[in-house]
Homo-oligomer: A and B are copies of this chain.
Amino acid sequence: MLTAPYTIVGAGPVGTLMALMLADRGHRVRLFERRADPRTARPERGRSINLALAARGVLALKQAGLMSRVAPQMITMPGRMLHDEQGALQFLRYGQHAREAIYAISRERLNCLLIDAAAERPHIELVFQTRCVDMDPDAATLQLRDERHGSVRHEPFGILLAADGAGSAVRSALLARRLSSAREQPLEHDYKELSIPAVTGGAAGGDFVFEPHALHIWPRGGYMLIALPNTDRSFTATLFLPRQGDPGFDRLEAAGAVQDFFRHQFPDACAAIPDLAQQFALHPQGRLGTLYCERWQAAGRVLLLGDAAHAIVPFHGQGLNCGFEDCRALDGLLASRRDASVALAEFERERRPDTDAIAAMALENYLEMRDTVRSPLFAQRKALAAELERHFPGRFIPRYSMVMFHPEIPYAEARRRGAQQAQILDALTAQFGFASPDAPALRQAQRLLDDAGL
């Protein structure tokens, strides 16, 4: 049974997964993508922060029956590996249970797998190298430009879903028509991707230079380097650093400055990137920020999805997971509502508290990753939270775990419960912990050591 067709702008992971979910329900879908088919084109270098899939993303992929394709490309990361200035390592598990892990995956690879799956469906029409330049919600037409010849044409649509990312052209069209408004909150920090090759050795293609089953972090307070493993035994590292300041990207322009900075701050990573200066010069310096968009839907037939609606900073590793969860949420609403325009309006109403919550938590998590994670108090607090989770299963789940491992808990609820839990951790730490110098437990320990003559 074929119903009125859907049009999707953007064949990134979110747009393509949405197309697959719609096709699964018998809808015809047309998917327009500005770029060439990534399965045949060469990837743009240094232009995608690599991905950490977590339970929300996995659940959406499972629902679409795609996990058997995706799983072989995933590398399990059950915790963080911290690197200090001397290269000493500390591993901190994310959760108590083996299943509480996140998964590194190449954004490019994941995208190609999804496009492969879409190309197999007769209901999905993939149109590459076709850029959306404008969209009229009232006339229900898209203005498209063929990127090869420059020719422009108008295309009518029934329902338009815009998954065209943080720089969404569809959103621009809504803003130009005053059908929505948006505020971008830029981060003062930029990012730069760097590739850490496998150590050379033999036909097997060499070896991981760091532990593959970990998300590596070099937390340095005001900035950080991270690295995620790739299946070819390389790592993709990302430096997050203020645009200006000391240290800052603007101070790294002199000859030798990058090498000096890395050698002092990240000596083990520096040793693992032989062509550091060249990579640094070649790869673009990326910007980060949070996008707050007032209205996601217009005229009962246009909806922004994923980053187009609510781009966030990458520090909770939830951008794509949240986008995939958008797909699940919209798919559920479209399936249960007779009128698609009702589903679009409900999606916006129901989903916004959750995307606001993850936007805030992603910003909060930058401080945790680059700074707090280094403190002994952080490890103590995590241990206490794990203790409470063990004793009160279901009632106390650490916020990080709710976000990453519990897709049944909406982001907004995770944030709300997380705030309550933080108060409980504060109270218990004050009464029973060893955090402050005048903690009762510490005073008692002092007495006992004195009594024992130690």
Contacts and interface: CB of A to CB of B under 8 A. Distances in A.
Interface stretch (A8-16, A83-91, A288-296): A83-91
Interface in A366-389: 376, 379-380, 383, 387-388
A187 interface: no
Given A90-B93, A204-B202, A211-B211, A392 B449 contact: yes
A432 interface: yes
Contacts of A379: 383
Given A90-B93, A454-B417, A440 B449 contact: no
Contacts of A201: 202-204
A427 interface: yes
Interface residues of A, number: 50
A280 interface: no
Interface stretch (A40-48, A112-120, A143-151, A418-426): A418-426
A448 B427 contact: yes
A206 interface: yes
A423 B452 contact: yes
One complex includes copies of this chain to the number of 2
Given A202-B204, A205-B202, A390-B376, A424 B395 contact: no
Interface in A385-403: 387-388, 390-392, 395-396
Interface of A: 78, 84, 86, 88-91, 93, 97-98, 201-207, 211, 376, 379-380, 383, 387-388, 390-392, 395-396, 417, 420-421, 423-424, 427-428, 431-434, 440-442, 444-446, 448-449, 452, 454
